């Protein structure tokens, strides 16, 4: 998708994120869990940068500048996920198992998906990608009504799955 098409559709592609330096290298993905920030708009927003206790996310200069991530500093803790008003932050554990990655994502709907539930996994357009299994649910009043759901999906879908639907 060209930049012009993205502007019309409002849906990011993997290549948009790569061009903006928001995809970790394959060798970094292999090491340990890591954050994926899907935010390339010049918007006046910065809770992600304040949320990270390790200083891995930086918004330098003007507030409207895009977030930058130091993937070597990030340890994949996921603290930043619920702090993003745009629901644009995910954490991937590429080596969750030999065959599956786990993807932690923000989830605001009720009811919450419970651990071990089979769910439908969707891409950024809301289209079906595959089925997945919920492996963790973090829900707390401190998260301001946004839970963190971690779902395991086959490795080949790590670039695509960004939301789930209960079935
Ligand atoms: S996952 Fe944790 S370490 Fe990584 S950017 Fe988010 S808050 Fe920082
Ligand atoms: S908090 Fe979310 S929407 Fe705001 S700059 Fe960070 S990633 Fe983008």
Number of domains in the chain: 1
Cβ-based neighbour number of residue 164 at 10 Å: 23
Range in 2-6, 46-50, 61-65, 127-131 with the lowest mean pLDDT: 2-6
Over residues 139-167, mean pLDDT:
96
Mutational pocket test of ligand 2: of 41, 59, 81, 86, the residue with most ligand atoms within 8 Å of the beta carbon: 86
Here the contacts of 41-47 (C-beta below 8 Å, separation 24 or greater) are: 41/66, 42/66, 43/86, 45/85, 45/86, 47/83, 47/84, 47/85
Distance 76 CA to ligand 2 centre (A): 16
Cα–Cα distance, 116 to 119 (Å, whole number): 9
Name the residue with the closest Cα to ligand 2, atom 2.
Answer: 84
User: Please, are residues 161 and 122 in contact by the beta-carbon 8 Å criterion?
Assistant: yes
Q: Containing domain of residue 156, as a range?
A: 3-166
Express each pLDDT in 129-138 by its tens digit. 999 999 999 9
Q: Is the CB of 89 under 6 A from ligand 2?
A: yes
> How does residue 1 score in pLDDT terms, banded at 50, 70 and 90?
very low
Mutational pocket test of ligand 1: of 31, 35, 84, the residue with most ligand atoms within 8 Å of the beta carbon: 35
Express each pLDDT in 52-91 by its tens digit. 999 999 999 999 999 999 999 999 999 999 999 999 999 9
Express each pLDDT in 21-39 by its tens digit. 999 999 999 999 999 999 9
């Amino acid at each position: 998708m060209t930049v012009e098409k993205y502007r019309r559709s409002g849906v990011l592609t993997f290549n948009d994120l790569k061009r903006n330096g928001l995809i970790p290298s394959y060798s970094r993905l292999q090491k340990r869990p890591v954050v994926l920030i899907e935010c390339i708009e010049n918007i006046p927003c910065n809770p992600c940068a304040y949320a990270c206790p390790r200083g891995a996310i930086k918004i330098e200069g003007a507030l409207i500048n895009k977030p930058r991530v130091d993937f070597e500093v990030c340890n994949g803790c996921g603290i930043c996920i619920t702090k993003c008003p745009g629901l644009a932050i995910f954490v991937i554990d590429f080596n969750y198992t030999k065959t599956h990655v786990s993807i932690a994502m923000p989830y605001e709907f009720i009811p919450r998906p419970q651990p071990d539930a089979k769910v439908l996994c969707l891409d950024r357009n809301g289209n079906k990608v595959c089925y997945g299994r919920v492996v963790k649910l973090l829900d707390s009043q401190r998260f301001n009504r946004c839970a963190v759901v971690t779902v395991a999906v086959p490795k080949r879908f790590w670039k695509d799955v960004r939301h789930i639907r209960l079935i």
